[in-house]
Amino acid sequence: MVNIIAVDDERDVKVLFEHFFHDEIDEGKVNLIFTQSGENCLKQIPTLSGKIIVLSDINMPGMNGIELLKSINTKHPEVSVLLISAYDQNRYYDEMRANGAKGYVSKPVDFVALKEMVFAIAN
């Protein structure tokens, strides 16, 4: 089972993730956790065992996705992070790579491609 922590300050995003990972959740392949802040994500990580993948929006109030990535990379280097944003990847590319991001997904999210990325990382 892979633990996916989806981090986005927009609450309606939770429904999208639950919908697109519905089968994997039902089959016990995915444990999906949704949180609205980077700070809450960091609190969740130590409570989980096994493979953890964080899917984080970049632009959020408080701790943004790049700051979350840096913190995870420092405190939990075993956790994989994919960043999500409506903004151009080139704006963040150097920072993402320097801090260990496994990839970038642009909004609107192509959930088929996202699933492929998640399960490629998980395996």
Query: Per-residue confidence of the chain (123 residues) as pLDDT tens digits?
Result: 999 999 999 989 999 999 999 999 999 999 999 999 999 999 999 999 999 999 999 999 999 999 999 999 999 999 999 999 887 667 777 888 889 999 988 888 899 999 999 999 998
**What distance in Å separates the CA atoms of residue 10 and residue 36, rounded to the nearest whole number?**
7
pLDDT at residue number 89: 60
Q: What is the CATH number of domain 2-122?
A: 3.40.50.2300
pLDDT at residue number 85: 85
What are the backbone angles phi and psi of residue 104, rounded to the nearest 5°? -140, 140
Q: What's the whole-model pTM score?
A: 0.94
What angle is formed at CA 93 by the lines to CA 42 and CA 80, rounded to 5 degrees? 35
Q: Where do the domains of the chain lie? A: 2-122
pLDDT at residue number 88: 64
| 3-class state of residue 35 by DSSP | strand
Neighbours of 79 (CB within 10 A): 20
Q: Any idea which residue has 């704006």 for tokens? A: 91
pLDDT at residue number 29: 95
What Cα–Cα distance (Å) separates residue 110 from each residue in 2, 41, 95?
20, 23, 23
